[in-house]
Amino acid sequence: MTASPNALPAICGAAILLFSSAVAGQGTAQTAGTGAFVRVSPRDARYFELSDGTPYVPVGLNMVQPPYPHKEFGEMAGWIERLSASGGNFIRVWLGAQYFDVEHEASGRYDEAKFKRIFDLLEFCHKRGVRVKMCIEFFRTLEGGKEWSRKPMHLIENGGPAKDAADFFASEKSRSQFKSKLVQFWCAFGADPPIFGWELWNEVNCVRGADWYGWSEVMLDKLHRLFPGNLAMQSLGSFDGDWALKDYPRLVRLPGNDVAQVHRYLDLGAQYEICHGPVDVLAADAVRRIREWQPDRPILLAESGAVEPSHSGPFKLYAKDTDGTILHDVLFAPFFAGAAGPGHTWHWDHYVAKNDLWWQFGRFARAIEGIDPPAERFEVLAPGHPTLRVYMLKGRRTLLAWLRDSRTTWRTELAEGKPPASVTGAAIDLPQGLPALEAATVRTYDPWTDRWTPAQVADGKVALPTFKRSLVVRIDFKR
Protein backbone atom coordinates (compact mmCIF):
# COMPACT_ATOMS: atom_id res chain seq x y z
CA MET A 1 0.00 0.00 0.00
CA THR A 2 1.28 3.47 -0.82
CA ALA A 3 0.15 6.90 0.26
CA SER A 4 0.35 10.24 -1.49
CA PRO A 5 2.29 13.09 0.18
CA ASN A 6 -1.02 14.75 1.04
CA ALA A 7 -2.51 11.67 2.67
CA LEU A 8 0.54 10.52 4.59
CA PRO A 9 0.55 13.03 7.47
CA ALA A 10 -2.70 11.60 8.81
CA ILE A 11 -1.29 8.08 8.64
CA CYS A 12 1.93 9.18 10.29
CA GLY A 13 0.10 11.11 12.96
CA ALA A 14 -1.29 7.82 14.17
CA ALA A 15 2.19 6.36 14.06
CA ILE A 16 3.46 9.11 16.35
CA LEU A 17 0.82 8.26 18.92
CA LEU A 18 1.54 4.56 18.58
CA PHE A 19 5.27 5.06 18.92
CA SER A 20 4.92 7.39 21.90
CA SER A 21 2.73 4.82 23.62
CA ALA A 22 5.14 2.01 22.83
CA VAL A 23 8.15 3.74 24.34
CA ALA A 24 6.46 5.36 27.33
CA GLY A 25 7.54 4.04 30.70
CA GLN A 26 10.61 2.13 29.49
CA GLY A 27 13.11 2.48 32.31
CA THR A 28 15.12 -0.67 32.82
CA ALA A 29 18.84 -0.48 33.54
CA GLN A 30 19.47 -1.29 29.87
CA THR A 31 17.24 1.50 28.53
CA ALA A 32 17.52 4.13 31.27
CA GLY A 33 17.75 7.60 29.78
CA THR A 34 16.31 6.67 26.37
CA GLY A 35 13.48 9.15 26.96
CA ALA A 36 16.09 11.90 26.55
CA PHE A 37 17.60 13.15 23.30
CA VAL A 38 21.25 12.98 22.26
CA ARG A 39 22.74 16.46 22.01
CA VAL A 40 26.10 18.17 21.75
CA SER A 41 27.14 18.68 25.36
CA PRO A 42 26.96 22.29 26.60
CA ARG A 43 29.71 21.30 29.06
CA ASP A 44 32.19 20.38 26.30
CA ALA A 45 31.15 20.71 22.66
CA ARG A 46 33.56 17.93 21.61
CA TYR A 47 31.33 15.30 23.22
CA PHE A 48 27.72 14.12 23.43
CA GLU A 49 25.34 13.85 26.30
CA LEU A 50 21.62 13.21 26.73
CA SER A 51 19.24 16.10 27.26
CA ASP A 52 18.95 15.04 30.91
CA GLY A 53 22.71 15.57 31.35
CA THR A 54 23.72 11.90 31.23
CA PRO A 55 26.95 11.36 29.23
CA TYR A 56 26.52 9.43 25.99
CA VAL A 57 29.24 7.71 23.97
CA PRO A 58 27.87 6.03 20.79
CA VAL A 59 29.27 2.48 20.85
CA GLY A 60 28.23 0.60 17.74
CA LEU A 61 28.56 0.26 13.99
CA ASN A 62 27.00 0.68 10.59
CA MET A 63 24.16 -1.80 10.02
CA VAL A 64 22.49 -0.60 6.83
CA GLN A 65 19.65 -3.12 6.47
CA PRO A 66 18.86 -6.85 6.81
CA PRO A 67 21.19 -9.02 4.72
CA TYR A 68 18.55 -10.05 2.18
CA PRO A 69 16.10 -7.19 1.64
CA HIS A 70 13.35 -9.54 0.40
CA LYS A 71 13.47 -11.44 3.70
CA GLU A 72 12.31 -10.48 7.17
CA PHE A 73 13.92 -8.40 9.91
CA GLY A 74 15.00 -11.45 11.94
CA GLU A 75 18.73 -11.63 11.18
CA MET A 76 19.22 -7.89 11.68
CA ALA A 77 17.28 -8.16 14.93
CA GLY A 78 19.75 -10.83 16.02
CA TRP A 79 22.69 -8.54 15.26
CA ILE A 80 21.12 -5.75 17.32
CA GLU A 81 20.49 -8.17 20.19
CA ARG A 82 24.12 -9.27 20.17
CA LEU A 83 25.37 -5.69 20.01
CA SER A 84 23.15 -4.59 22.90
CA ALA A 85 24.06 -7.61 25.03
CA SER A 86 27.74 -6.71 24.51
CA GLY A 87 27.33 -3.12 25.69
CA GLY A 88 26.64 -1.43 22.35
CA ASN A 89 24.10 1.40 22.12
CA PHE A 90 24.23 2.70 18.52
CA ILE A 91 23.65 1.68 14.90
CA ARG A 92 23.46 3.54 11.59
CA VAL A 93 20.89 2.51 8.99
CA TRP A 94 20.18 3.68 5.43
CA LEU A 95 16.56 4.69 4.97
CA GLY A 96 17.15 4.63 1.20
CA ALA A 97 18.22 0.97 1.24
CA GLN A 98 15.77 -1.50 -0.29
CA TYR A 99 14.34 -2.88 2.95
CA PHE A 100 13.50 0.57 4.40
CA ASP A 101 13.06 2.72 1.27
CA VAL A 102 9.74 4.54 1.64
CA GLU A 103 10.11 6.13 -1.83
CA HIS A 104 10.74 3.13 -4.06
CA GLU A 105 7.80 2.97 -6.49
CA ALA A 106 7.77 6.51 -7.89
CA SER A 107 9.33 9.87 -7.16
CA GLY A 108 7.32 11.61 -4.44
CA ARG A 109 5.19 8.59 -3.53
CA TYR A 110 5.63 7.00 -0.12
CA ASP A 111 5.01 3.46 1.06
CA GLU A 112 3.22 3.11 4.38
CA ALA A 113 4.52 -0.44 4.84
CA LYS A 114 8.12 0.79 4.69
CA PHE A 115 7.37 3.47 7.31
CA LYS A 116 6.07 0.64 9.48
CA ARG A 117 9.36 -1.24 9.03
CA ILE A 118 11.30 1.81 10.24
CA PHE A 119 8.91 2.21 13.15
CA ASP A 120 9.40 -1.45 14.12
CA LEU A 121 13.19 -1.00 13.96
CA LEU A 122 13.08 2.04 16.24
CA GLU A 123 10.81 0.33 18.72
CA PHE A 124 13.01 -2.78 18.74
CA CYS A 125 16.15 -0.71 19.27
CA HIS A 126 14.56 1.44 21.97
CA LYS A 127 13.76 -1.59 24.09
CA ARG A 128 17.42 -2.61 23.90
CA GLY A 129 18.95 0.79 24.62
CA VAL A 130 20.21 1.25 21.06
CA ARG A 131 19.92 4.60 19.28
CA VAL A 132 19.70 4.89 15.51
CA LYS A 133 21.41 7.27 13.11
CA MET A 134 18.94 7.70 10.25
CA CYS A 135 20.81 8.17 6.95
CA ILE A 136 18.13 9.39 4.58
CA GLU A 137 19.58 8.92 1.09
CA PHE A 138 22.62 7.46 -0.66
CA PHE A 139 22.19 7.22 -4.44
CA ARG A 140 24.99 8.61 -6.64
CA THR A 141 23.36 9.04 -10.02
CA LEU A 142 19.98 9.08 -11.71
CA GLU A 143 21.14 7.09 -14.73
CA GLY A 144 24.11 4.90 -15.56
CA GLY A 145 26.42 3.53 -12.90
CA LYS A 146 25.82 0.43 -10.80
CA GLU A 147 22.26 -0.59 -10.04
CA TRP A 148 22.58 -0.03 -6.28
CA SER A 149 23.80 3.54 -6.81
CA ARG A 150 21.16 4.96 -9.18
CA LYS A 151 17.57 6.17 -8.81
CA PRO A 152 16.15 6.90 -12.27
CA MET A 153 12.67 7.50 -10.86
CA HIS A 154 13.66 11.11 -10.12
CA LEU A 155 14.25 11.93 -13.82
CA ILE A 156 11.64 14.10 -15.51
CA GLU A 157 10.98 11.44 -18.17
CA ASN A 158 10.11 8.99 -15.39
CA GLY A 159 7.77 11.38 -13.60
CA GLY A 160 10.37 12.93 -11.32
CA PRO A 161 11.44 16.56 -10.83
CA ALA A 162 15.04 16.52 -12.16
CA LYS A 163 16.83 16.66 -15.52
CA ASP A 164 19.90 15.00 -14.04
CA ALA A 165 21.69 14.49 -10.71
CA ALA A 166 22.99 18.06 -10.61
CA ASP A 167 19.48 19.37 -11.20
CA PHE A 168 18.18 17.16 -8.38
CA PHE A 169 20.34 19.17 -5.99
CA ALA A 170 19.93 22.58 -7.63
CA SER A 171 16.37 23.03 -8.89
CA GLU A 172 13.70 24.51 -6.67
CA LYS A 173 11.25 21.78 -7.68
CA SER A 174 13.62 19.00 -6.62
CA ARG A 175 14.55 20.75 -3.39
CA SER A 176 10.90 21.32 -2.56
CA GLN A 177 10.15 17.63 -3.09
CA PHE A 178 13.04 16.54 -0.87
CA LYS A 179 11.84 18.92 1.84
CA SER A 180 8.44 17.30 1.50
CA LYS A 181 10.09 13.93 2.06
CA LEU A 182 11.66 15.23 5.27
CA VAL A 183 8.18 16.33 6.35
CA GLN A 184 6.94 12.76 5.80
CA PHE A 185 9.61 11.50 8.21
CA TRP A 186 8.60 14.19 10.70
CA CYS A 187 4.98 13.10 10.41
CA ALA A 188 5.98 9.49 11.00
CA PHE A 189 8.53 9.86 13.78
CA GLY A 190 8.62 13.44 15.05
CA ALA A 191 11.80 14.14 16.99
CA ASP A 192 11.86 10.76 18.69
CA PRO A 193 14.48 10.26 21.43
CA PRO A 194 15.58 6.79 20.17
CA ILE A 195 16.85 8.52 17.02
CA PHE A 196 20.52 9.47 17.47
CA GLY A 197 20.22 11.95 14.64
CA TRP A 198 19.34 12.53 10.99
CA GLU A 199 22.03 12.25 8.32
CA LEU A 200 21.11 13.78 4.97
CA TRP A 201 23.17 11.62 2.64
CA ASN A 202 25.80 8.94 2.61
CA GLU A 203 28.96 10.40 1.01
CA VAL A 204 27.13 13.19 -0.78
CA ASN A 205 30.22 14.31 -2.71
CA CYS A 206 29.98 11.07 -4.71
CA VAL A 207 27.02 12.55 -6.60
CA ARG A 208 28.96 13.91 -9.57
CA GLY A 209 28.38 17.54 -10.56
CA ALA A 210 26.09 18.29 -7.64
CA ASP A 211 26.28 21.40 -5.46
CA TRP A 212 26.36 19.32 -2.31
CA TYR A 213 27.38 22.22 -0.09
CA GLY A 214 24.57 24.61 -0.98
CA TRP A 215 21.99 21.82 -0.93
CA SER A 216 23.25 20.54 2.44
CA GLU A 217 23.10 23.99 3.99
CA VAL A 218 19.43 24.31 3.02
CA MET A 219 18.47 20.78 4.08
CA LEU A 220 20.33 20.90 7.40
CA ASP A 221 18.34 24.01 8.25
CA LYS A 222 15.14 22.15 7.34
CA LEU A 223 16.12 19.20 9.52
CA HIS A 224 16.73 21.47 12.50
CA ARG A 225 13.35 23.10 12.04
CA LEU A 226 11.56 19.76 11.83
CA PHE A 227 13.60 17.86 14.42
CA PRO A 228 14.82 20.37 17.02
CA GLY A 229 15.52 17.60 19.52
CA ASN A 230 17.68 15.51 17.20
CA LEU A 231 21.16 15.97 15.80
CA ALA A 232 21.56 16.74 12.08
CA MET A 233 24.62 15.89 9.99
CA GLN A 234 26.14 15.22 6.57
CA SER A 235 28.91 12.92 5.30
CA LEU A 236 31.58 12.71 2.59
CA GLY A 237 33.54 9.84 1.07
CA SER A 238 36.65 8.18 2.47
CA PHE A 239 39.39 10.67 3.44
CA ASP A 240 42.03 8.94 1.35
CA GLY A 241 43.41 11.56 -1.06
CA ASP A 242 44.07 15.23 -1.71
CA TRP A 243 40.48 15.89 -2.84
CA ALA A 244 39.58 15.80 0.86
CA LEU A 245 41.74 18.83 1.65
CA LYS A 246 39.16 21.01 -0.11
CA ASP A 247 35.89 19.26 0.77
CA TYR A 248 36.38 18.13 4.36
CA PRO A 249 37.12 21.60 5.81
CA ARG A 250 33.90 22.83 4.16
CA LEU A 251 31.90 19.89 5.51
CA VAL A 252 33.01 20.09 9.12
CA ARG A 253 32.45 23.86 9.25
CA LEU A 254 29.08 23.65 7.51
CA PRO A 255 26.42 25.61 9.44
CA GLY A 256 23.92 23.27 11.07
CA ASN A 257 26.20 20.23 10.72
CA ASP A 258 26.20 19.13 14.37
CA VAL A 259 28.72 16.30 14.03
CA ALA A 260 32.08 16.50 12.23
CA GLN A 261 32.00 13.08 10.57
CA VAL A 262 34.85 11.47 8.67
CA HIS A 263 35.09 8.21 6.71
CA ARG A 264 38.42 6.41 6.27
CA TYR A 265 39.38 2.80 5.50
CA LEU A 266 42.40 0.56 5.25
CA ASP A 267 42.63 0.63 1.45
CA LEU A 268 45.74 -0.42 -0.48
CA GLY A 269 44.38 1.44 -3.51
CA ALA A 270 44.13 4.79 -1.71
CA GLN A 271 46.27 7.76 -2.73
CA TYR A 272 47.42 8.35 0.85
CA GLU A 273 50.08 5.99 2.12
CA ILE A 274 48.69 6.27 5.64
CA CYS A 275 45.62 4.33 4.44
CA HIS A 276 47.88 1.35 3.66
CA GLY A 277 49.37 1.06 7.13
CA PRO A 278 48.35 0.26 10.71
CA VAL A 279 44.61 0.75 11.27
CA ASP A 280 45.02 2.60 14.56
CA VAL A 281 47.32 5.13 12.86
CA LEU A 282 44.99 5.86 9.93
CA ALA A 283 41.99 6.10 12.26
CA ALA A 284 43.64 8.42 14.79
CA ASP A 285 45.09 10.58 12.02
CA ALA A 286 41.63 11.10 10.48
CA VAL A 287 40.35 12.41 13.82
CA ARG A 288 43.35 14.70 14.28
CA ARG A 289 43.02 16.16 10.79
CA ILE A 290 39.35 16.98 11.34
CA ARG A 291 40.16 18.52 14.74
CA GLU A 292 42.58 20.92 13.01
CA TRP A 293 39.70 22.26 10.92
CA GLN A 294 36.90 22.01 13.47
CA PRO A 295 38.00 22.07 17.12
CA ASP A 296 34.60 22.69 18.71
CA ARG A 297 32.27 19.96 17.40
CA PRO A 298 32.02 16.26 18.20
CA ILE A 299 34.07 14.18 15.76
CA LEU A 300 33.11 10.66 14.73
CA LEU A 301 34.98 8.22 12.52
CA ALA A 302 31.61 7.31 11.08
CA GLU A 303 32.78 4.68 8.59
CA SER A 304 35.91 2.58 8.75
CA GLY A 305 37.22 -0.93 8.35
CA ALA A 306 39.16 -2.51 5.51
CA VAL A 307 38.47 -2.90 1.79
CA GLU A 308 40.02 -4.42 -1.27
CA PRO A 309 41.91 -1.80 -3.35
CA SER A 310 39.84 1.29 -4.17
CA HIS A 311 36.76 -0.04 -2.40
CA SER A 312 36.35 -2.95 -4.79
CA GLY A 313 34.96 -5.23 -2.08
CA PRO A 314 35.31 -6.31 1.56
CA PHE A 315 38.88 -6.98 2.69
CA LYS A 316 39.83 -10.56 1.84
CA LEU A 317 41.91 -10.89 4.99
CA TYR A 318 38.80 -10.40 7.15
CA ALA A 319 38.48 -14.19 7.02
CA LYS A 320 41.73 -14.51 8.98
CA ASP A 321 40.86 -11.77 11.47
CA THR A 322 38.92 -14.02 13.83
CA ASP A 323 40.19 -12.07 16.85
CA GLY A 324 38.92 -8.79 15.43
CA THR A 325 42.20 -6.86 15.42
CA ILE A 326 40.96 -4.45 12.72
CA LEU A 327 37.68 -3.86 14.55
CA HIS A 328 39.55 -3.35 17.82
CA ASP A 329 41.74 -0.63 16.33
CA VAL A 330 38.73 1.06 14.68
CA LEU A 331 36.97 1.12 18.05
CA PHE A 332 39.76 2.29 20.34
CA ALA A 333 42.01 4.61 18.31
CA PRO A 334 39.48 7.37 17.46
CA PHE A 335 38.16 7.87 21.00
CA PHE A 336 41.62 7.92 22.53
CA ALA A 337 42.67 10.40 19.83
CA GLY A 338 39.92 12.79 20.92
CA ALA A 339 36.78 11.68 19.05
CA ALA A 340 33.36 11.72 20.70
CA GLY A 341 33.10 7.94 20.43
CA PRO A 342 34.76 4.83 19.03
CA GLY A 343 34.98 4.35 15.29
CA HIS A 344 31.96 2.81 13.55
CA THR A 345 33.00 -0.04 11.31
CA TRP A 346 31.46 -1.08 8.01
CA HIS A 347 31.05 -4.75 6.96
CA TRP A 348 28.76 -5.60 9.85
CA ASP A 349 27.75 -8.77 7.98
CA HIS A 350 30.87 -9.91 6.07
CA TYR A 351 33.14 -9.28 9.06
CA VAL A 352 31.58 -8.59 12.46
CA ALA A 353 28.70 -11.06 12.33
CA LYS A 354 30.56 -13.67 10.29
CA ASN A 355 33.49 -13.72 12.75
CA ASP A 356 31.21 -13.27 15.80
CA LEU A 357 33.07 -10.19 17.01
CA TRP A 358 30.29 -8.56 19.04
CA TRP A 359 32.35 -9.00 22.21
CA GLN A 360 34.78 -6.35 20.95
CA PHE A 361 32.16 -3.64 21.54
CA GLY A 362 31.83 -4.78 25.14
CA ARG A 363 35.58 -4.52 25.69
CA PHE A 364 35.58 -0.88 24.60
CA ALA A 365 32.55 -0.17 26.79
CA ARG A 366 34.30 -1.78 29.76
CA ALA A 367 37.42 0.32 29.26
CA ILE A 368 35.52 3.62 29.56
CA GLU A 369 32.78 2.51 31.97
CA GLY A 370 31.71 5.32 34.31
CA ILE A 371 33.57 8.02 32.37
CA ASP A 372 31.79 11.35 31.81
CA PRO A 373 33.75 12.83 28.86
CA PRO A 374 32.21 16.34 28.97
CA ALA A 375 33.01 16.63 32.68
CA GLU A 376 36.60 15.54 32.11
CA ARG A 377 37.41 18.19 29.48
CA PHE A 378 40.08 15.84 28.18
CA GLU A 379 43.42 17.06 26.88
CA VAL A 380 44.60 14.81 24.04
CA LEU A 381 48.24 13.72 24.36
CA ALA A 382 50.50 11.41 22.38
CA PRO A 383 53.65 10.72 24.45
CA GLY A 384 56.51 9.06 22.65
CA HIS A 385 57.58 5.49 23.39
CA PRO A 386 60.16 3.23 21.71
CA THR A 387 57.80 0.30 20.99
CA LEU A 388 54.28 1.47 21.82
CA ARG A 389 51.96 4.02 20.26
CA VAL A 390 50.48 5.87 23.23
CA TYR A 391 47.08 7.53 22.87
CA MET A 392 46.33 9.47 26.06
CA LEU A 393 43.41 11.50 27.43
CA LYS A 394 44.27 13.63 30.44
CA GLY A 395 41.12 14.65 32.30
CA ARG A 396 40.11 16.43 35.48
CA ARG A 397 39.22 13.21 37.31
CA THR A 398 40.65 10.49 35.11
CA LEU A 399 43.64 9.72 32.96
CA LEU A 400 43.05 7.20 30.20
CA ALA A 401 45.68 5.77 27.87
CA TRP A 402 45.39 3.16 25.15
CA LEU A 403 48.69 1.54 24.26
CA ARG A 404 49.20 -0.21 20.92
CA ASP A 405 52.19 -2.46 20.24
CA SER A 406 53.76 -0.92 17.13
CA ARG A 407 55.40 -4.22 16.16
CA THR A 408 52.06 -5.97 15.59
CA THR A 409 49.79 -4.83 12.75
CA TRP A 410 47.23 -6.22 10.32
CA ARG A 411 50.10 -6.90 7.95
CA THR A 412 52.19 -8.96 10.39
CA GLU A 413 49.22 -10.90 11.77
CA LEU A 414 46.89 -11.34 8.83
CA ALA A 415 49.08 -11.06 5.72
CA GLU A 416 52.26 -12.67 7.10
CA GLY A 417 50.61 -14.99 9.63
CA LYS A 418 52.83 -14.01 12.57
CA PRO A 419 51.15 -14.29 15.99
CA PRO A 420 51.37 -11.21 18.22
CA ALA A 421 54.41 -11.14 20.46
CA SER A 422 54.16 -10.44 24.19
CA VAL A 423 55.08 -7.02 25.53
CA THR A 424 56.99 -7.52 28.78
CA GLY A 425 58.66 -5.21 31.27
CA ALA A 426 57.33 -2.05 29.64
CA ALA A 427 56.35 1.21 31.33
CA ILE A 428 54.89 4.53 30.19
CA ASP A 429 55.67 8.04 31.39
CA LEU A 430 52.93 10.08 33.01
CA PRO A 431 52.43 13.70 31.98
CA GLN A 432 53.15 16.62 34.24
CA GLY A 433 50.45 18.38 36.25
CA LEU A 434 48.43 15.39 37.42
CA PRO A 435 46.52 15.48 40.73
CA ALA A 436 48.08 13.68 43.67
CA LEU A 437 48.65 10.03 42.86
CA GLU A 438 48.87 8.84 46.48
CA ALA A 439 45.11 8.40 46.76
CA ALA A 440 44.50 7.58 43.10
CA THR A 441 43.37 4.20 41.78
CA VAL A 442 45.78 3.01 39.11
CA ARG A 443 44.72 0.05 36.98
CA THR A 444 45.33 -1.56 33.62
CA TYR A 445 42.71 -3.25 31.48
CA ASP A 446 43.54 -5.96 28.99
CA PRO A 447 40.75 -5.84 26.37
CA TRP A 448 41.81 -9.20 24.94
CA THR A 449 41.36 -11.07 28.24
CA ASP A 450 38.77 -8.72 29.80
CA ARG A 451 40.94 -8.39 32.92
CA TRP A 452 41.58 -5.41 35.21
CA THR A 453 44.88 -5.44 37.13
CA PRO A 454 46.17 -3.01 39.80
CA ALA A 455 49.26 -1.13 38.63
CA GLN A 456 52.12 0.60 40.36
CA VAL A 457 53.49 4.11 39.77
CA ALA A 458 57.12 4.90 40.51
CA ASP A 459 59.29 7.79 39.37
CA GLY A 460 56.49 9.15 37.19
CA LYS A 461 56.04 5.88 35.29
CA VAL A 462 53.30 3.25 35.23
CA ALA A 463 54.69 -0.27 35.18
CA LEU A 464 52.74 -2.42 32.72
CA PRO A 465 51.85 -6.10 33.01
CA THR A 466 52.69 -8.47 30.19
CA PHE A 467 50.20 -8.10 27.33
CA LYS A 468 49.71 -8.66 23.61
CA ARG A 469 48.62 -6.12 21.00
CA SER A 470 47.14 -3.46 23.28
CA LEU A 471 46.42 -2.38 26.83
CA VAL A 472 44.46 0.37 28.58
CA VAL A 473 45.84 2.34 31.53
CA ARG A 474 43.29 4.07 33.74
CA ILE A 475 43.98 6.36 36.69
CA ASP A 476 40.99 7.54 38.71
CA PHE A 477 41.97 10.44 40.95
CA LYS A 478 40.39 11.04 44.34
CA ARG A 479 37.41 13.39 43.95
Supply the pLDDT for residue 28. 28
Supply the pLDDT for residue 20. 39
Tens digits of residue pLDDT in 305-328: 999 999 999 999 999 999 999 999
Tens digits of residue pLDDT in 390-442: 999 999 999 999 999 999 999 999 999 999 999 999 999 999 989 888 889 99
Phi-psi region of 422 (alpha: psi -120 to 50; beta: other; left: phi over 0): beta
For every residue of 89-123, DSSP letters joined together read -EEEEETTSTTT-SS-SSTT-EEHHHHHHHHHHHH
Supply the pLDDT for residue 70. 64
Look at residue 246 and tell me whether its pLDDT is greater than 80: yes
Look at residue 16 and tell me whether its pLDDT is greater than 60: no
Look at residue 29 and tell me whether its pLDDT is greater than 60: no
Supply the pLDDT for residue 247. 97
Look at residue 173 and tell me whether its pLDDT is greater than 90: yes
Look at residue 1 and tell me whether its pLDDT is greater than 60: no
% of residues, the chain, pLDDT over 90: 86
Look at residue 31 and tell me whether its pLDDT is greater than 90: no
Look at residue 262 and tell me whether its pLDDT is greater than 90: yes
Look at residue 4 and tell me whether its pLDDT is greater than 50: no
More confident residue, 269 or 20: 269
Structural domains for the chain: 2-371 (3.20.20.80), 380-476 (2.60.40.1180)
Look at residue 105 and tell me whether its pLDDT is greater than 70: yes
Q: Say if CB 125 and CB 203 are below 8 A apart.
A: no
What pTM, to 2 d.p., does this model score?
0.93
Supply the pLDDT for residue 61. 98
Q: Mean pLDDT over all residues of the chain?
A: 92
Average pLDDT over residues 36-52: 97
Contacts by residues 210-218 (CB-CB < 8 Å, ≥ 24 positions apart): 210/165, 210/166, 210/168, 210/169, 210/170, 211/166, 211/169, 211/170, 212/169, 213/250, 213/254, 214/169, 214/170, 215/169, 215/170, 215/175, 216/254, 216/257, 217/254, 217/255, 217/256, 218/175
More confident residue, 425 or 145: 425
- Give the model's confidence band at 34: pLDDT under 50 very low, under 70 low, under 90 confident, else very high: low
Look at residue 25 and tell me whether its pLDDT is greater than 50: no
- Give the model's confidence band at 69: pLDDT under 50 very low, under 70 low, under 90 confident, else very high: low
Please state, in angstroms and rounded to a whole number, the distance separating the CA atoms of residues 293 and 173: 34
